[in-house]
Structure 1
């Protein structure tokens, strides 16, 4: 069966091939009459025309595909980030390839190499192990990269993230303002700047308010529901009478901590106050609803997409 070409579409619609090309380029659709555009789209549908994306990318150096490499596909924060990015890409007629490194630097590099071979227009990355040298070498190869959620000092790469230090300060101050003086913290394993800065905000706010930093009330683990649950059970068993509130550096950890408190026969917030970080959707439907520091996921995703698009256009 003969392959349908752009010329066939133009003949069916009664327009030039350049007009068909304009319809296939969303960024200039607004400069075309609605009737003409609909006529071309109808011809595309009738002929079942499928543009050769690879050929288009070779001519225009664009594939209209963006890669997202995230550390944990099971983490609701990254699930929501991927969801929002997919909505943005669909609206802008881009495709989104989503990869999960499972917190493995080796797997992360493998996916970046794969996306580079696929000639994606850019990569949105929440890195787990790349330093500034490696990231800068990637950008020198002409790959537009934007970091989200996790910063890498020294990397000459745009970064979209919340002020994690201030978030840690705000969370801790909120608990202090409720009257708590013994505040525990469940944090990550200190392999990301976001966890480091949220913990630093906790430390500095306690000191600013003249409160003791009790090392036995600080637990480090994986940023998962399972570890939030496990570490809170450990806190309750060993130091249950030594604290009345806990700051968890993300919401999924906080939800695990709440489960452990409730299984102990205690209540949130009457027995223990809990605050998380991220404002994932689950935080509003938990029982009770989780108090949390919000991350502007939609704004982060939108800014990352626009940065990739602008970099590719300028490149």
Structure 2
């Protein structure tokens, strides 16, 4: 494997210049930078990232940490793709971790990412009042929240207007004459679900529809199973809902499975509106109504 010294000799520059090209390329003369980069390609030189982090005066590791709840959730995989595309374009690598909505696992990966000297961490915090993430920010680690907020910290955040999205979803249902509207949501520890629930309640209040707590079901946002069971329960109620607002893509899938098993048709027997833009939603006949959440663009931002 070629060494830094051999790259410098091949490119007819100093070792310092080669190091600067790897760590602060924008400060190197373009012609020299191209000569060094060409030498690295032709010699198949692979920089040692650990040594590179130790050498650079600014401490840039060219590594980003990304913690998401579950890569199998298509919405989060879209976010990952957006983050990675931008990072790769800037010569950054991404360390990906799955928290599974487990605070202990989130804490473990935050510690690992800090030990790897990442330049910053991107995550949807499991809890909107997370003391662990708050402490990370206060220690000076650059953090960006995506999809969810931290309430007590001023931190860069990429989210949609979840409350408005929830309101529009329920207003759409109401406009079709529905008054018995259930919601499949999750714990208020997640800012996104709390805001969508607020939008649901505001829409009902604005249209003089009484809020029935029996129609509000909180389940696991990572699986279809809890939504499936809650939908079964709702449909077998003495006074079942005529419409359901499912607040993420997996809940929508679980609800649809239960509706199908009960031999009901959408929208003839029951209406449903989902959250998150899902390619498969357009394959359903008639196409499913959803509130679009552009995961890829959120990741890029």
TM-score higher than 0.5: yes
Aligned to 1:110: 108
The answer to whether the 8 A contact 1:63-1:119 is kept is yes
1:154-193 equivalent positions in 2, closer than 5 A: 154-193=152-191
Cα 1:197–1:288 change in 2 (3 A) is same
Q: CA deviation at 1:67?
A: 0.5
Q: CA deviation at 1:111?
A: 0.5
1:96-175 equivalent positions in 2, closer than 5 A: 96-129=94-127, 131=129, 133-175=131-173
Aligned to 1:84: 82
Q: Which runs of 5+ in 1 are unaligned?
A: 304-315
> Is 1:43 aligned to 2:39, yes or no?
yes
Cα 1:99–1:212 change in 2 (3 A) is same
> SS state of the match for residue 24, structure 1?
helix
Cα 1:130–1:274 change in 2 (3 A) is closer
Q: Which runs of 5+ in 2 are unaligned?
A: none
1:203-242 equivalent positions in 2, closer than 5 A: 203-223=201-221, 224-239=223-238, 242=240
Q: CA deviation at 1:21?
A: 4.2
Q: CA deviation at 1:179?
A: 2.2
- Could you tell me how far apart the structure 1 residues matched to 2:28 and 2:231 are? 55
- Could you tell me how far apart the structure 1 residues matched to 2:219 and 2:61 are? 40
- Could you tell me how far apart the structure 1 residues matched to 2:75 and 2:284 are? 15
The answer to whether the 8 A contact 1:136-1:156 is kept is no
- Could you tell me how far apart the structure 2 residues matched to 1:184 and 1:213 are? 10
Q: CA deviation at 1:181?
A: 2.1
Aligned to 2:256: 258
- Could you tell me how far apart the structure 1 residues matched to 2:287 and 2:64 are? 35
Please give the per-residue CA displacement for 1:148-202, whole angstroms capped at 9, x wherever unaligned.
Answer: 1111211232222112111111110111122222211111133212111111111
Cα 1:30–1:88 change in 2 (3 A) is farther
- Could you tell me how far apart the structure 2 residues matched to 1:167 and 1:46 are? 52
Aligned to 2:242: 244
